[in-house]
């Protein structure tokens, strides 16, 4: 992928994710005890691009004592091989009415953005935060 395409992908992805999340100033609370699976066409994981992957987001229940946060697992859709697996402790899963899904620590830090654009899912994961 050329540098221009890579930059364009990042720019469009960031703009669509931010505009979806802030459409109407929507405020949502964290979602607990839910597991989501989404087929993702393009994923950017810690700066590395991946295509045709499946992401599983597993939010811990709010009554669970030993398990907190959201577990994120990314697998290659064709081979089933795990590409990325991490539990973001003390992070929460937020689902917006337009379909955008965020994992983060409130308004302070967003670690995963999962958004639908033109009928396909796009995702970015950055442990230290997406700015």
Give phi and psi for 96, each to the nearest 5: -95, 160
Residue 49 domain flag: yes
Rounded Cα–Cα distance for residues 19 and 99 (Å): 12
Give phi and psi for 15, each to the nearest 5: -65, -45
Residue span of the structural domain in which 47 resides: 3-125
- pLDDT tens, 49-77? 999 999 999 998 877 767 788 999 999 99
What's the pTM? 0.75
Residue 103 domain flag: yes
Residue 47 domain flag: yes
Two tokens, residue 96: 């917006």
Residue 130 domain flag: no
Tell me what pLDDT residue 37 has: 95
- pLDDT tens, 3-39? 666 655 655 566 555 554 444 566 888 888 999 999 9
What is the tally of structural domains in the chain?
1
């Amino acid at each position: 992928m050329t540098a221009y395409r890579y930059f364009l992908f990042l720019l469009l992805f960031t703009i669509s994710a931010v505009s979806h999340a802030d459409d109407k100033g929507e405020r949502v609370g964290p979602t607990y005890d839910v597991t989501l699976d989404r087929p993702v066409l393009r994923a950017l994981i810690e700066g590395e691009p991946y295509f045709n992957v499946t992401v599983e987001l597993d939010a811990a229940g709010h009554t669970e004592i030993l398990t907190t946060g959201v577990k994120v697992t990314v697998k290659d859709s064709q081979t089933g091989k795990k590409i990325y697996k991490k539990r973001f402790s003390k992070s929460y899963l937020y689902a917006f009415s337009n379909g955008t899904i965020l994992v983060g620590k409130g308004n302070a830090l967003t670690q995963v953005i999962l958004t639908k654009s033109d009928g396909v899912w796009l995702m970015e994961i950055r442990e230290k935060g997406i700015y």
